[in-house]
Amino acid sequence: MVLRRLGLLLAIAVPLLDAAGARAQDVEPGTHLEGVDPRTLSAFHAALARASRGEGVARVAFYGDSHAASDSFTGAVRRALQARYGDAGPGFVLPVRAWPTYRAPSCELSSGGSWRPLRVTARDRHIDRYGFAGVAVECAPRETADASAADDGLGWGELALPETLVGAEWNLELWAAAQPGGGTLRVRIDEADPIETALAADAWRTHYLAVPVVGNGAHRVRVETLGDGAVRLFGAVLERRRAGVVVDTLGLNGARARDQLSWDDSLFREHLARRRPDLVVLEYGTNESGDDEPIARYEASLQQVVRRFREAAPSASCVLVGPTDRPIRVRRVGWVERARQASIIEVQRRVALASGCAFFDTVRFQGGPLSTVTWARLDPPLAQRDRIHLTRLGYLRVGEALAASLVDGLPASTAAASTTAPSTTAPSVRVRSSVTSGPPSATSAPAP
């Protein structure tokens, strides 16, 4: 029985390994999105057209798991779109590190004190007010008052705008919870007098604090709590006062699509309506491919997630991004395709097309099952040694392809790259109407 099982696994593994490179040829240059018709991306394309005319901001809300959380993937999409249509800023960011590796796009971020992240985890799935990003940070009131330390606060965070964005004028809006027992939030811009906002209220609501940022150039934004009550922050909107593109990075490590169903519904709908995205991207499935949840239940929860977005943001375009290839290593056999991966991808494709959304099949773009094994062997590698996550160059490659697919067919005359400030923090990324898919040859490095 054992020998028969090993023989079956080998019969599956070897052809798939050969196909990882061969299937790359099946993907034609151009768009890698499925389900695109004149209406699928019309709202996003209209927003891009307005941005190219200098008349507004095209906003992308990019949700996902750890692939999106690091901002390597979403950052590649952001730089590509902003290079063509204009840089309207980082977008929605957390002014405090919700986890040690969190990075605020285009900003330097530092924080300290007794902040506590609030989000859905594998062990805690209760419904709570997590807000637009699915994660909030909260600082509890001080247990014992200490007048000598009153000005220091119990928690703080500071955003520094880098030199690459010098010359921009900014709009800043902080999103916080006004609640019974709420404390005071202090906000300071550079060396200006601080603004203190009392967040105590008779009932829960979101307090939107517009903070004036006077003058262009570099700025430092500092938030502090004073210990007189609980302070919960949902995030901050940081946009330049100019037309262009904003991509909100909303990924969470270990996330699954169904986690969104534990985000308080009324609050999430309120936040989504206020942010007004022109495109919603849902990048999930990698973690679900390793779960044992019945596939029918997975499909039902994904349908609920997509339906809520379509109801809460009815005018926004929608794209589902499938998981990366995630093989599993079998002793004495090697790497084989994970059993649920194809089913997860097919469910995502079916839900996307039935909901009027486009679908980006990441595994197909990589070259098919076991392509991550190939990507990890390249020099430099495009996938990490865990055969789950990609390297910075790998995410750059996939991000380029997604960005190019999103604007495929749009006239080049809409480009607004000349109005975009040059960046020295990331490699130049061009949106191309044609992107080579799949793994490059093992003897050549990918073109960034």
Is position 10 within any domain?
no
Q: Per-residue confidence at 429, pLDDT binned at 50, 70, 90?
A: very low
Residue with the bigger pLDDT between 441 and 247: it is 247
**Strand partners for 239:** 171
Residues 254 and 337 in one domain: yes
Res 163: pLDDT = 61
Residues 187 and 226 in one domain: yes
Residues 231 and 251 in one domain: no
Tokens representing 211 are 């903070």
Residues 77 and 110 in one domain: no
Is position 443 within any domain?
no
Residues 164 and 251 in one domain: no
Res 345: pLDDT = 98
Tokens representing 22 are 């061969």
Residues 224 and 145 in one domain: yes
The model carries a pTM of 0.85
Tokens representing 72 are 């390597």
Is position 15 within any domain?
no
From first CA to last CA, the distance across the chain in angstroms is: 48
In the predicted structure, residue 20 carries a pLDDT above the cut 60: no
Residues 315 and 399 in one domain: yes
pLDDT, average across residues 5-15: 40
Q: Of 125, 148, 89, give the one whose Cα is nearest residue 261.
A: 125
How many Cα atoms within 13 Å fall on the side-chain side of residue 396? Answer: 16
Res 218: pLDDT = 79
Res 219: pLDDT = 87
CA distance 335 to 387: 10
User: What Cα–Cα distance (Å) separates residue 432 from each residue in 35, 77, 273, 280, 401?
Assistant: 20, 12, 32, 21, 8
Residues 256 and 234 in one domain: no
Residues 222 and 296 in one domain: no
Is position 448 within any domain?
no
* Host domain of residue 377: 20-88+243-423
**326: CATH:** 3.40.50.1110
Which of 241, 265, 287 is where one domain is finished? 241
Report DSSP state, residue 193: P
pLDDT, average across residues 58-84: 96
Integer-rounded Cα radius of gyration of the chain: 23
Is position 433 within any domain?
no
Residues 273 and 407 in one domain: yes
CA distance 337 to 381: 20
**Tokens 């798991």 sit at which residue?**
65
Is position 386 within any domain?
yes
Residues 97 and 79 in one domain: no
Burial class (CB in 10 A: 0-12, 13-18, 19+), 309: buried
Neighbour-count burial for 264-302, b at 16+ CB within 10 Å, e otherwise: eeebbbbbbeebebbbbbbbbbbbbbeeeeeeeebbebb
Per-residue pLDDT tens for 296-347? 999 999 999 999 999 999 999 999 999 999 999 999 999 999 999 999 999 9
Is position 6 within any domain?
no
Residue with the bigger pLDDT between 91 and 168: it is 91
In the predicted structure, residue 83 carries a pLDDT above the cut 70: yes
Which of 212, 241, 270 is where one domain is finished? 241
pLDDT, average across residues 344-356: 98
For 355-416, where are the alpha helices, taking DSSP H only? 362-366, 371-377, 392-406
What's the domain count of the chain?
2
**178: CATH:** 2.60.120.260
Is position 435 within any domain?
no
pLDDT, average across residues 424-445: 33
CA distance 355 to 40: 10
Which of 221, 241, 261 is where one domain is finished? 241
Are 98 and 117 a contacting pair, CB within 8 Å? yes
Tokens representing 413 are 């005359």
H/E stretch holding 303 reads helix 295-312
CA distance 38 to 45: 10
Residues 185 and 102 in one domain: yes
Per-residue pLDDT tens for 124-178? 889 999 999 999 999 998 874 444 444 445 899 999 976 666 666 888 999 999 9
Q: Per-residue confidence at 405, pLDDT binned at 50, 70, 90?
A: very high
Res 170: pLDDT = 85
